[in-house]
Structure 1
Amino acid sequence: MAAAFVAGNVVGAAFGEVLAILHDAVKNVVGQAIVFKSNLEDLKSTLDDVAPVVREIRELSLALNRPEKDKKVLIEQMDKGTKLVLKCSKIKRWSWNYCFKAYSYAGKLKELNDAIEKFCRVNLIV
């Protein structure tokens, strides 16, 4: 029981930290990457909605007895999402592969947003 509590606290803390990093990256990039503006605004809105419950994620995780693996997968996705958001800020319109990158990154941003929303719908219901 104590090991599960400690593991839940560690994963909960990591979840909160990676969520904050992703949220800050999105806030900083949303004005820079015009081509991804709607995707980034959707992601920012989702993160804004999720932020208040992140403080409670440790307690909810333990009370709901959810597998730690699920949260770890989401943490990894959000970490990759932060890197993706930063890549979006660096894409140049004059790049030879601009259209490909824009299309690819937009799809990945939508997938990230959908994954966060799904996680919250499934795992944060009390």
Structure 2
Amino acid sequence: MDAVRHLSITIATPLARAYAFAHQPANFARWAAGLATTLHPTDRGWVADTPEGEALVVFSEPNAYGVLDHRVQLAGKPEVYVPLRLVAHGDHTEAVLTLFRQPDMDEAMFERDAGLVARDLAALKRVLESEA
């Protein structure tokens, strides 16, 4: 079985406010640099410019449960499913991302990816707490 890691961070922002910001694909580039530095809508859907080329990103529909799952498809590669949840914790929010080690990743690549996710979650925290 491939490795899996759950990365999380506590954000001093209520869930409703955190979700209102984070569920909008246009805001992902403000905090999810591990996904892409640019993300824009096209006739095919949301497209991220990555070092490996364009990636189609499909986001979960807006919902009342804090689900921010998304799927990333690079040409010629298997689709990557990224479960991401925002969970109320009193008047704060827990952001939890499940990172699955992909079949073509060695341990060093998986660790690097985990570091990028941790950096992105910290950026989400910084953005949300600075705009509180």
TM-score above 0.5, yes or no: no
Higher relative contact order (CA 8 A, sep 6+): 1
Q: TM-score, normalised by structure 2?
A: 0.33
Greater fraction of residues in strand? 2
Larger radius of gyration: 1
**Structure with greater proportional helix content:** 1
Q: TM-score, normalised by structure 1?
A: 0.34
